[in-house]
Every structure is written in structure tokens, then in C-alpha cells.
Structure 1
């Protein structure tokens, strides 16, 4: 008695394998579709500027590409006051003032101290650990800035109207929102499914306004700078 041919079973298996591959390809194509997230950040019902919104997932972490950023010093202030960068980004701190600055941070995510400088470029600083880095100047106590380092390329900062837009592939993410005045310094997190073409999200923050040291009048500032220069020259 002859055995029945098995080519039919093989054909069925091949067909099922092709269907599975096609399904995976469709899912990947769907995930790769660009989507638009529109975030509105408020506190006590009012729009909040300078809030950092970012989308996080394993795929987002894998898509991080280190780049370069600039935080300038103008009129004895950091510009911009709030920055958000990918992990591994090199940040330069040019000094556009006619006085010297000494930029530093004691934050666990990045500790550094640049030498006192003016009129020349300081060496770049690489921010390679996620977290919030608070910047200061050893000479000017009122100079404060914040660098939010995230393991995701999908992020934005809210404008004066409290809104920000983030372009990212469709998929499931954790949305994180942080602000310099947020209570406990911990970001608000929520799960979010980003769908095409766009998704809207509103986030309410609990803020505790901080009192930054006030900048002295110009004559006091000049006296402070002159005193510091004389001290440096004596060393």
C-alpha cells in the first residue's frame, strides 16, 4: 500500500508561515507609522510653560541617538532655562557675557564643574545618565537652569500656552511630564496609546513655586565681578 504524499501538509505549513510573516510585517509597518501627540499641561487649570513631556518605551530607548546641544549664558542668565536632551548628548556652554562664569552641577545624574572662563569656549559636557540636572554658576547665585536627560528621542517642552507636540511612531508608551516647580521633583507618568494620525493628552501638575535668588542691581554686579577678578589675580 502506497503512502499518501505529504506535499499538501508542507504547503499548508508554508502558507501559514507566510501568513504569520505577513502579519508581523503589518504590525511592524503599523508601529512605524508616524503619529502626533498633542500635550496640554496645566496647573490649577492654567497652562504651564517650560514643562518637559517625553514618551518612553523599549523601542524609544533603542532609538536614542546622542547629539549636540548648546546652553548659552547671556545677561547673567542661562539660555534656555529648561532643556531636554537624549542620553549621550554633548552640551556646550558658551559665554556670551563680558564677565566670567563658572558652570557647575551637583546633581546625581551629572556632576561637573567647568573652570572659570570668559571669551573662550569651555569643553563640552556629556550627559550620559537619565535624570534632571540642575545647573548653577559659582559666581552668580541667581543663575539656575535645568537639563532633563531622557532615554528617548521623543520629547518636547511646552510653550506659554502650555502645549507641546511630539512626533513618534504609533504604539504604547509611558508619558512623563516634569516641571522645575513640580512637587517632590517627581514627574507625572501615565500609560498612553499613541495612534495615527494624532492623539491628545491633558496633564495636570501639582506645582510649588520656588524662590530663586534675585539678581543684584548692575552696580552691585559690577562690584562683585571686580572683587572676584582681583581675588583670582592674587592667586
Structure 2
């Protein structure tokens, strides 16, 4: 494993998948800032959040402050996307068959999303002020190969994490002497069901 690799497990030692982990640099100088900007070049911009099978896909999306996010409706029905809470408020309709809406998020924070047409749909955006972020894989691993040697606040986040601001943090210094395993003792709430309770559908002319 890379010296900048981290694994998350719960209190039972089980891998925690799809958890947001990001490194917030504690001290930035000019050279470090330049490196941070270079770190974004390997991202496919704009990032995309899809509405597919009446669900947000992915359920959690992380985007760096100031970059574009595109909403894409893959369904053959209209969705009416809105922000339920967070640093950016929005409400817009996406007509069927690959309609898109592009937005720039210029403030950090958590944006909770829903759909006015399909009230079971829920999704989450996390806007961060660092290029060093990722989501853990099915074995709980996430790597930060491009992060330069420095002191960081390592932040763990998930909308269902039962802690203040749905996050936990600790200080780390890169390079790590070895891969780091972190035990997350906070409880995780269940992810809400992303399925309709019935087959009722709004008319296409909504």
C-alpha cells in the first residue's frame, strides 16, 4: 500500500465503504497552493450527478469549491431537483432523456438534495476546499498519492454518520510511515430507501 493510504473500519473491525475522506492542508504557501491546483487536473470536469431509476447516482458526490457539477437526467420522466439544506440553494426541473443542468459551487459545506416529484429520492453533495479527497472502496481503503508532504487535518464525513456535522477529524502528517487504519466508533444511521412506496407517477407534462 502507498504511504498515503488510509483504511476505515467500524468498531467491529468491518470495512466502511463509500465514506468521504479528505485532507485539509494546515499551512499553505505559494508552492503548496500551486501543487493543490495541479492536483485537480486529473479530475474529469465537470463532475456529474445522475438521476437514474428515480435515484441520485452516486448517492454522495464530493466536489472542490469553484468547480462545475453537472446534473444529468437519465430517466424518461421529469425530475424537479432542489437543495433541502446547505450553502447553495437551488430548485430546477430536468426534463426527460439526458437533460442537463450545470452549476458552480463556490462555498464549502454539505448540500442535501431531494426531488419534488419523487419524494423518496435523496442525495448529498460535499463541497471542500482541497483537491485531496476521495471515497473509500468496498474494503475501506482510500489513497492520496498526489498529496505533498505536509501537516493535514484528515476529515471523515458521511451524511449518516452520527457525530457533529456528520464528520470526524484528526491530525496527520504526510508521508505516513505506513498505511493508516482508523477505527470509526461513531454510529452510522441507515441510508434511506431510494424506492417508491407505490407505482404512482406524475404526468409527463409536469
Would you call these one fold, judging by a TM-score over 0.5?
yes
Q: Distance in 1 between matches of 2:60 and 2:91?
A: 19
Structure 2 residue aligned with 1:179, among 132, 140, 158?
A: 158
Query: Does the 8 Å CA contact 2:121/2:194 hold for their aligned counterparts?
Result: no
Equivalences for residues 59-138 of structure 1 within 5 A: 59=28, 63-64=36-37, 67-138=45-116
Structure 1 residue aligned with 2:127, among 149, 153, 170?
A: 149
Query: Does the 8 Å CA contact 2:120/2:195 hold for their aligned counterparts?
Result: yes
Higher relative contact order (CA 8 A, sep 6+): 2
Q: Distance in 2 between matches of 1:61 and 1:130?
A: 17
Relative to 1, partners in 2 of residues 1:42 and 1:147: Cα closer, same or farther, differing over 3 Å? same
Name the residue aligned to 1:55.
Answer: 23
Relative to 1, partners in 2 of residues 1:214 and 1:69: Cα closer, same or farther, differing over 3 Å? closer
Query: What is the Cα-based RMSD across aligned positions, in Å?
Result: 2.4
Relative to 1, partners in 2 of residues 1:150 and 1:205: Cα closer, same or farther, differing over 3 Å? farther
Q: Is there any run of 5+ residues in structure 1 with no aligned partner, and where? A: 1-34
Give the C-alpha shift of residue 178 in structure 1.
0.7
Query: Does the 8 Å CA contact 2:109/2:128 hold for their aligned counterparts?
Result: yes
Name the residue aligned to 2:202.
Answer: 225
Q: Distance in 1 between matches of 2:181 and 2:87?
A: 28
Aligned length, in residue pairs: 192
Give the C-alpha shift of residue 209 in structure 1.
1.4
Give the C-alpha shift of residue 75 in structure 1.
0.8
Give the C-alpha shift of residue 214 in structure 1.
5.3
Q: Which structure shows the higher helix fraction?
A: 1
Query: Does the 8 Å CA contact 1:73/1:95 hold for their aligned counterparts?
Result: yes
Render the CA deviation track for 1:50-81: whole Å, top value 9, x for unaligned: 11000011437672559421011111111111
Q: Highest CA radius of gyration, 1 or 2?
A: 1
Q: Distance in 2 between matches of 1:61 and 1:83?
A: 23
Name the residue aligned to 1:41.
Answer: 8
Query: Does the 8 Å CA contact 1:105/1:113 hold for their aligned counterparts?
Result: yes
Name the residue aligned to 1:191.
Answer: 171
Q: Is there any run of 5+ residues in structure 2 with no aligned partner, and where? A: none
Runs of 4+ in 1 over 3 A off after TM superposition: 64-67, 196-199
TM-score (norm 1): 0.73
